[in-house]
Chains A and B, each alone.
Chain A
């Protein structure tokens, strides 16, 4: 079936303009009572204008922590960024002053969260909260800011925006609250929008509405979208490129068509075969054995090796590619596809 995949995603078409956001070898650890937790262990990715990059991973894979590091909203301590660069518009956000960071991030990068209710202030009207963006960053008057807020609420398709602008968060449904969050996020025309599980708490019919809205807004503004999710279906339907995370590392990266069509990492392969499909009944599920790793005690070598059906240890392993001892680097396997597995070629079948 080539018909569905021929229309080139917007991200690839516009990729020539160079990346807007560049994350390079980001490492984050948490100091806890039970020891050092290595949440992010050398994550690198780039996002271009108009591109949708999905970061796919299970809980504890480090996908949210890496996003929080970009936004500068990690609680430090206990968290600590031990290395890495976050380049946005030519500046490393980790080295500039907090004052400067605020100036750059405020209008440039915004983020929406899974739980819209706890992200909104319950004692201010939504109009006030949306307008705050304009007052804080553009110095607008209250009156003008509210006018802008109504316009934005219209743009995110909240019905009767002019009347609802004075309502409080609890008066909105889950889907509408998420729209309020989106309105705040796009208020200053950011170049990058990070959406951390934006639809996980929503029902499927509402999820479809919200994803549709995000795609339309992206088409209008040309912003880059970083979509953090654990839902393979959402990734397949809206993303151009995908980075699969496991134990704080990216284990596979490429276009969604390539990665989902023929995974190069056994973990991605395991995820694909462990999920039932809505389009067919299918046979017995093939789960990944074992449990996700404890980040305070990540397995040696490839972090996935204890659960990997294709691991090679002992005499089977090639020199320097012992799954339980040698950490596989994220490397180019075939053009346009990177994977962190010693035996990706075999997984791919090339």
Chain B
């Protein structure tokens, strides 16, 4: 073994709470578009993720919002190393994941877990709940000694609010909310540092959503977990997140604390997004500013030049077509990728 390989496999060093745990720098993922059956030619690329920067500190929740097709799920797959980035780097505990190998990569894969959106498709129907939760231990055997695994599985089930006696049942015997709890128990089993939650409550009924959100919050407090919480529901993201990043067509357009982003949104897209969310309080109806966007999101295979949002933006000027705005603070106290960033309160402040 040569020197660098040993380095790559060296174990990862722990990080103190509040310190940067994961950093994503200019992350890109382009999927090739091919034509032809026998001789495949690449005719273009879908720029699903095109220059994303994120920072996740230990013990915090970073919310990632955006509409379908903006690349948020691709980000989650890149983070758990289910996809390889085209370029850019993911730095975990100070080490570039792409340069990790051996033990370090195995440790990374264990410490960064994921919960999926669809609790019906993400559990193997032929495995019992106990087998699903314990499956990770067959790879990471050092986490749970072989002997106490059943007991450990039942403890985990109890922790996520499932009856431990159901350890031998199959996924179809559970409701959607309970299945999502199984997915959470599976992620917890490997004692992760980060859980990437990819739309974890979108498929659930409203009355069950709150149960799962509360469970995630409790687990974070108990185990010091960090979450990357990906969702399209802006209310849920605001509720659970410490900081929020808004994505549009493959890149982050605005980032800040939840209060900064929700009460003084400075990117036109964020403003339009917030103004589209229906409010629940009758007395707030009509007080909200209405910004109706025209048209649809452009194709990520052929994104507009300069600022991605300019084709739907009411503020667009000539500069927007030529120069892509950087994601920097333009005097609003938080980062915004707009040449004409201007803080604006779109949603009314709650009266009580």
A residues contacting B by CB (< 8 A) are: 1, 3-5, 7, 58-59, 159, 173, 175-176, 203-209, 212, 230-234, 236-237, 256-257, 260-261, 270-272, 274-282, 284-289, 291-292
Contact = CB atoms under 8 A, between A and B. Distances in A.
Contact of A279 (B205, B273, B284): B284
A205 B235 contact: no
Interface in B322-348: 347-348
Nearest to B209: A274
Contacts of B210: 274-276, 285-288
Contacts of A271: 206-207
Given A274-B207, A279-B348, A287-B207, 11 more contacts: A4-B284, A233-B235, A236-B279, A236-B280, A260-B282, A272-B280, A274-B209, A276-B210, A276-B213, A278-B274, A287-B208
Given A234-B278, A275-B206, A280-B350, A206 B296 contact: yes
B192 interface: no
Interface residues of B, number: 52
A286 B217 CA distance: 13
B349 interface: yes
A292 B205 contact: yes
Interface in B265-280: 272-280
23 contacts: A1-B287, A4-B286, A4-B287, A5-B283, A58-B206, A59-B205, A205-B273, A205-B293, A208-B276, A230-B205, A232-B206, A233-B279, A233-B280, A236-B278, A236-B281, A237-B278, A270-B207, A275-B209, A277-B281, A278-B347, A280-B349, A281-B238, A287-B211
Given A58-B205, A280-B350, A291-B175, A209 B292 contact: yes
B238 A276 contact: yes
Contacts of A270: 207
Interface string B224-267: 00000000101110111000000000000000001100100000
A207 B276 contact: yes
B122 interface: no
Given A208-B292, A261-B283, A285-B214, A279 B207 contact: no
A287 B210 CA distance: 5
Contacts of B213: 276, 285
Nearest to A286: B210
A92 to B, nearest CB: 34
Given A260-B281, A291-B177, A279 B350 contact: yes
